Structure 1
Amino acid sequence: MPCRLIHFIHACPALLLLISHPGRTAEQPQTADLLLEAPYRRAYVVMQRFPDWISRGQATSTPVARVVTGGHSYLLGHLCKPHDCDNNQLDIVFAADGHAAWGLLHTRRDERQPFLQSWLGNPNEEMQALLLQNHAAINPPAP
């Protein structure tokens, strides 16, 4: 009997969802409320953490370039995870006076996969273009 139940559960995952949420009559919590409750709070905080090579600045990097765009001066740089630069990279732009920073994180499991890209610091279109150009310059297409 236990084997049949396990087979049934694997064969009918949609039915299992219905069983676990019968009729959805109970009031479900709001997603934002879960962010305040353990263990969801811990899982949410862990999800937001950057890998150590980013958060601690333990990275292989390029010299920064001073660029001017839109009449403003910026420092443009590139970081990557030591011993895994092909798969874990961060392009970053700092306002010359240090009051703001924007980034584009590029991660993938291996070279056969496309990069997953995440914007950091809410860059405007001008900063996005600068970050994308920097990444393309450092990662030219294979011949």
Structure 2
Amino acid sequence: MKILSLSMLAGASMMLVSEGVWAEQYLPEIASKAPYKKAYAEMLSYPDWVSKAQGTASPVETVSADGKRFTVGHMCKPHDCADNQLIVVFNADGTKSWGLLATRPAEGEAFSKQLLGDPDSVVQGLLNKSFADNNPED
């Protein structure tokens, strides 16, 4: 029984030491080291149809909002438009863009929406309107 108690105490001590070491690490440190580095990069990457702008698309539109002109485009994943969409808004001279990436895990489920580029409320309105126009049933 004494050996069992010592084993349990040693195990508990190792857990405490392990947790203490872990508490002293920070996200920038672990995100730059294996195995975290790969997982972190995968989290920030987008599918090729998004990152390479190689999706199925409709013609872009020029719209006005809040006294400014914008170009709005809609694109979706080839052969899976119903569940994977990207709306992009460019400023008038094309030097700034914002997006709304909308994906859903299965047909009939709600979209998960991710804003890209930190859009203000005017641009968010354009993104949401374009999404709604292209998804009248959602």
Q: What's the TM-score bracket when you normalise by the shorter of the two chains? A: 0.7 to 0.9
- 1:99 pairs, out of 95, 98, 107, with 95
Amino acid at match of 1:128: Q
Amino acid at match of 1:22: L
> What's the secondary structure of 1:38's corresponding residue?
coil
Structure 1 residues 134 and 22, CA, compared in 2 at 3 Å: closer, same or farther? Answer: same
Equivalent residue, structure 2, for 1:22 = 16
Distance across 1 between alignment mates of 2:111 and 2:59 = 23
Equivalent residue, structure 2, for 1:55 = 51
Q: How many residues align?
A: 125
Check if 1:118 corresponds to 2:110.
no
Q: Displacement, 1:39?
A: 2.4
Distance across 2 between alignment mates of 1:124 and 1:20 = 49
Q: Displacement, 1:21?
A: 4.2
Deviations 1:38-62 (A, max 9, x none): 2212221121111011111110011
Q: Displacement, 1:71?
A: 1.7
> RMSD between aligned alpha carbons?
1.9
Following superposition of structure 1 onto structure 2, how do residues 27-46 of structure 1 map, counting pairs within 5 Å? 27-46=23-42
Amino acid at match of 2:66: G
Q: Greater shift after overlay, 18-27 or 36-45?
A: 18-27
| Structure-1-length-normalised TM-score | 0.80
Distance across 1 between alignment mates of 2:85 and 2:14 = 41
| Structure-2-length-normalised TM-score | 0.82
Larger Cα-atom Rg: 2
Distance across 1 between alignment mates of 2:92 and 2:78 = 26
- Which runs of 5 or more structure 2 residues have no equivalent in the other structure? 1-11
Distance across 1 between alignment mates of 2:110 and 2:58 = 23
Structure 1 residues 19 and 105, CA, compared in 2 at 3 Å: closer, same or farther? Answer: farther
Q: Displacement, 1:19?
A: 9.3
Structure 1 residues 35 and 63, CA, compared in 2 at 3 Å: closer, same or farther? Answer: same
Distance across 1 between alignment mates of 2:73 and 2:25 = 43
Structure 1 residue ranges (4+ consecutive) displaced by more than 6 angstroms after TM superposition: none
Equivalent residue, structure 1, for 2:63 = 67
> What's the secondary structure of 2:20's corresponding residue?
coil
